[in-house]
Amino acid sequence: MLIGGSPVTVPYANKMAESQKEISISDFFAKNRQILGFDNPSKAMLVSVKEAVDNSLDACEEANILPDIFVKISRTDNKDRYLITVRDNGPGIVKNQIPNVFGRLLYGSRFHAIRQSRGQQGIGISSVVLYSQLTTGKTTTVISKIGEDYPCHRMEIHINTKTNRPQIINSEVILWEPHHGTEFSCEIEGRYQKNKKQSVQEYLRSTAIVNPHVQIVFEDPDGEVLRFDRVVDKLPEPANESKPHPHGIELGVLKNMLQYTEARKLSSFLTNEFTRISPRGARDIISQAGLTEKTNPKKLKLENVQTLYDVMLKMKFMAPPTDCLSPIGDRLIRKGLRKEIDSKFAYTVTRDPKVFLGTPFQVEAGIVYGGEIPPGDQVQILRFGNRVPLLYQQGGCAMTHAIERINWRPYGLEQRGGKGIPNGPAVILVHLASTNVPFTSESKEAVADVDEILDEIVRALMDCGRRVKSHINKKNKLKKVSEKYTLIKEILPEIARKSSSIVGRPQIQLDPVITKIMNVHVIDSGIIHREVGDQKQTEVTVKVQNYTQKERKFKLLVKVPDTLIQGVYPENFNMKDGAIEWEVGPISPARSVHLGFTLLGLDQDEYDEVEVYYSRLPGEVIGADPL
């Protein structure tokens, strides 16, 4: 190439090299803040709170402490700036580590662990420190105490964006009442929005739904205090750490693992560093890759690493263990939903763990219906990845796509053309737990369309749909029954009275007409919860009324949860597959029988609907389903 026709004396690359220098991560972020989710002031506010709260929750859970989180947002003299404070009752951070945890990007204890955790979801709290610094020039203040007899440290931190290293501007020991915990406060440029779908309040509410063991108190800029109360005093089962599965890694990761392993031989590297690779499997891999077992992993050539990687991908292995997942559990999700959303019906389901590309995942879904939820609006979708609410990019998320893929009309929700997000008085929740939630982008706001995941979400939601439908059916039938009761108890007797008074003839016996009008069997069930001493008792009653013209004899089943049962009546019952079974009758026309039992040790929301089934009962039955 001829440049300007003059002879080239100094290679151009040397000139370029003078201006090429390492760009620090901090510098890069300073120029690309949207990658971290700080695209605009209101999102920046949300992300800042979210990072701090996620950090607090992870710390508390790791230390086996029930989290008590206090969040406060206050205005400053500058209307575009807010002061954010997040305080927890976690284990605290030792003095030396405080600057690293808050002032160094990509620094953390969870970075290499294959385990379900919240921390994977953001770049971390240090990005908030950096954002605060870039927009206000202020330092971030951290207060932390690790135990009752330990000093409490207060530090002001600044990040040197050139070196990606924290600088301590001020450090002192102070008096702090809590025994242990951490308080984080920083000033940022942001906007506070109230009562919006994407707001701090909504994020905290959503967090409370899927973390029913958490207590959150939130004070907004107007000084209004919102409490999200803890509903369960038990921490979630800690997720086990797990080694990577041979199908769940990328080439670069394999290279790193080979570099840093303590194994001296390739065979032990494979069996020790991976899950589901047996010694025999390791031998197979090595021979197919044309390598030897004794090869030192650190000395593997690049092309050999590629071959090894290809062989591992092609070979079959047992699916990875799924005990590294920590689902919330259908019961707890229901508790959370019930507490935060006023509804008439809630159903939740936790699917069995599944695997995509060597990565274990588990889908949980829930639906609440009726009550105070506006009936005409589009259904609200609550999305969560590893217990963290996903508030942005709803339209691009696999969870939304799964909802849109289902025809909701047979389940009693409105949906234009049988496609898209349905309308109706419902809220749908989807939670994806995984050691590696596949997000569509770095800002981690939407789950990618992985077939295995989509499939699981669809199945979970269809289950929810079926339950909603049967709830609606039951409700409609009950409405019909209550109408018929009004008819036979109030209107018909008045018709009889009025007509006999007009024609001046005697009153009429109405029973035959009543059974003709009803022509139905009504099964009414009731639940009464009470506490006797410290024993929880749930009294269940079932009343069967025969409003037909024939005598009836049939089989009735009531499903019961796995708990202690006492006082079953009448006594001619059988226990069968988690159900109590009676031979009922004969019941004469216009007569009824009573059945019942008492469950012990259940909370009110653990048993809130009596499931009754029947067989050999002809004609219409209200209040039970055929077996």
Partner 1 sequence: MTGKDITKGNRIAKDRLKKIAEFVYDQLDRGDIPHLEVSSRTKNNIVLSKDLKVWKYGKDTVQRSAKDLGGATSILRTLYTVDFIGDMIDSGKSSTLREMYYISEGWNKGKFPTQDESNKLAEDLEIITKCLREDFKLRPEEDGARVIGDLTITEKNRKGEVKKINCKDDVGDSGYGIPYNVEDEKVKFKAVNAKFIIAIETGGMFDRLVENGFDESHGAVLVHLKGQPARSTRRFIKRLQEFSNLPVVLFTDGDPWSYRIFASVAFGAIKTAHISEYLATPEAQYLGITPSDIVNYELPSDKLSDNDVSALKSELTDPRFSSSHWKEEIKLQLKLKKKSEQQALAKYGLDFVTDTYLPEKLSEMNII
CB of 499: closest distance to partner 1 in angstroms? Answer: 4
Q: Which span sits near partner 1 by CB under 8 A: 170-178, 401-409, 436-444, 488-496?
A: 488-496
Give whichever of 472 and 513 is closer to partner 1, judged by the CB atom: 513
Using CB under 8 A, which of 498, 530, 559, 594 touches partner 1? 498
Strand, helix or coil at 186?
strand
Using CB under 8 A, which of 65, 66, 232, 508 touches partner 1? 508
Q: How many residues bind partner 1 (CB under 8 A)?
A: 23
Q: Which span sits near partner 1 by CB under 8 A: 40-48, 140-148, 454-462, 502-510?
A: 502-510
Q: Which span sits near partner 1 by CB under 8 A: 34-42, 146-154, 415-423, 506-514?
A: 506-514
Q: Which residues contact 374 (CB under 8 A, 6 or more apart)?
A: 425
Using CB under 8 A, which of 517, 579, 593, 602 touches partner 1? 517
Q: Could you give the C-alpha distances from 107 to 23, 111, 172, 390, 451, in angstroms and in order?
A: 18, 8, 23, 23, 33
CB of 524: closest distance to partner 1 in angstroms? Answer: 19
Q: Which residues contact 235 (CB under 8 A, 6 or more apart)?
A: 61, 64, 65, 66, 213
Written as six digits, the tokens of 474 are: 């039951």
Give whichever of 109 and 499 is closer to partner 1, judged by the CB atom: 499
CB of 526: closest distance to partner 1 in angstroms? Answer: 24
CB of 554: closest distance to partner 1 in angstroms? Answer: 25
Using CB under 8 A, which of 65, 66, 263, 492 touches partner 1? 492
Using CB under 8 A, which of 250, 494, 534, 571 touches partner 1? 494
Residue 554 bridge partners (DSSP): 584
Using CB under 8 A, which of 30, 65, 226, 513 touches partner 1? 513
Residue 527 binding partner 1, by CB under 8 A: no
Give whichever of 35 and 495 is closer to partner 1, judged by the CB atom: 495
Q: Which span sits near partner 1 by CB under 8 A: 105-113, 274-282, 306-314, 490-498?
A: 490-498
Using CB under 8 A, which of 80, 490, 551, 611 touches partner 1? 490
CB of 515: closest distance to partner 1 in angstroms? Answer: 9
Residue 499 binding partner 1, by CB under 8 A: yes
Please state the separation of Cα 570 from the chain's center in Å. 42
Question: Could you tell me where the DSSP H helices lie in 68-124?
Answer: 98-103
CB of 496: closest distance to partner 1 in angstroms? Answer: 6
DSSP notation for 18-76:
HH--PPPHHHHHHH-GGGGT-SSHHHHHHHHHHHHHHHHHHHHHHTT---EEEEEEEE-
Q: Which span sits near partner 1 by CB under 8 A: 30-38, 54-62, 496-504, 608-616?
A: 496-504
Give whichever of 419 and 480 is closer to partner 1, judged by the CB atom: 480
Give whichever of 414 and 490 is closer to partner 1, judged by the CB atom: 490
The residue type of 97 is: Q
Cis peptide before 570 (omega within 30 of 0): yes
CB of 211: closest distance to partner 1 in angstroms? Answer: 47
Q: Identify whether the C-beta of residue 398 lies closer than 8 Å to the C-beta of residue 451.
A: no
The count of C-alpha atoms lying within 13 angstroms of the C-alpha of 253, restricted to the half-sphere facing its C-beta, is: 14
Q: Tell me, what DSSP letter sits at residue 150?
A: S
The residue among 467, 598, 579 whose CA lies nearest residue 527 is 598
Residue 478 binding partner 1, by CB under 8 A: no
Using CB under 8 A, which of 262, 352, 483, 562 touches partner 1? 483
Using CB under 8 A, which of 279, 410, 512, 526 touches partner 1? 512
Using CB under 8 A, which of 40, 97, 287, 501 touches partner 1? 501
Give whichever of 32 and 519 is closer to partner 1, judged by the CB atom: 519
The CB density around residue 243, as the number of other CB atoms within 10 Å, is 18
Burial of residue 165 (number of CB atoms within 10 Å: 0-12, 13-18, 19+): middle
For residue 558, give the H/E element and its range: strand 552-559
Using CB under 8 A, which of 65, 251, 472, 510 touches partner 1? 510
Q: Rounded to an integer, what distance in angstroms lies between the CA atom of residue 304 and that of residue 116?
A: 31
Q: Rounded to an integer, what distance in angstroms lies between the CA atom of residue 549 and that of residue 564?
A: 39
Residue 500 binding partner 1, by CB under 8 A: yes
* Long-range pairs for 72-81: beta carbons < 8 A, 24 or more residues apart: 72/218, 72/219, 73/45, 73/49, 73/192, 73/200, 73/219, 73/220, 73/221, 74/219, 74/221, 75/221, 76/187, 80/41, 80/189, 80/190, 80/191, 81/135, 81/136, 81/187, 81/188, 81/189, 81/190
Q: Identify whether the C-beta of residue 366 lies closer than 8 Å to the C-beta of residue 428.
A: yes
Q: Which span sits near partner 1 by CB under 8 A: 207-215, 286-294, 482-490, 571-579?
A: 482-490
- Residues forming contacts to partner 1 in the complex (CB under 8 A) are 483-484, 486-487, 490-492, 494-496, 498-503, 505, 508, 510, 512-513, 516-517
